[in-house]
């Protein structure tokens, strides 16, 4: 992510229970496992799912770090493209 200009060094994964209670307008999942096990959200939350390839799974058998990074970079770029179009798709 750093090579794409995004600092995620202080970021961690969260679960819904870690968030203060609030009504969500949208819940966006990008992982098939999360989409399948995602809890119900109270209120009017619209659930949007866009599955992406599992980079760690794809990279597991790579013969080098460079070969593994190809998978991470491709999926990162696909997610960036999806997120950049979200505002227009949510209207």
Per-residue model confidence as pLDDT tens digits over 6-64: 888 898 877 777 777 778 888 888 877 766 776 666 678 888 888 899 999 999 999 99
The model's pLDDT over 35-49, given as tens digits with 9 standing for 90+, comes to 677 666 667 888 888
Name the pTM for this structure: 0.74
The closest alpha carbon to 25, from 81, 85, 86, 67, belongs to 86
The span from the CA of 90 to the CA of 26, in Å, is: 9
């Amino acid at each position: 992510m750093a090579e794409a200009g995004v600092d995620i060094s202080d970021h961690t994964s969260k679960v819904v229970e870690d968030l203060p209670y609030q009504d969500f307008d949208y819940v966006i999942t990008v992982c098939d496992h999360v989409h399948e096990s995602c809890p119900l959200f109270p209120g009017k939350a619209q659930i949007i799912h866009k599955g992406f390839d599992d980079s760690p799974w794809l990279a597991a058998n790579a013969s080098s770090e460079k070969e593994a990074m190809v998978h991470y970079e491709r999926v990162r770029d696909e997610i960036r493209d999806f997120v950049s179009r979200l505002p227009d798709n949510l209207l």
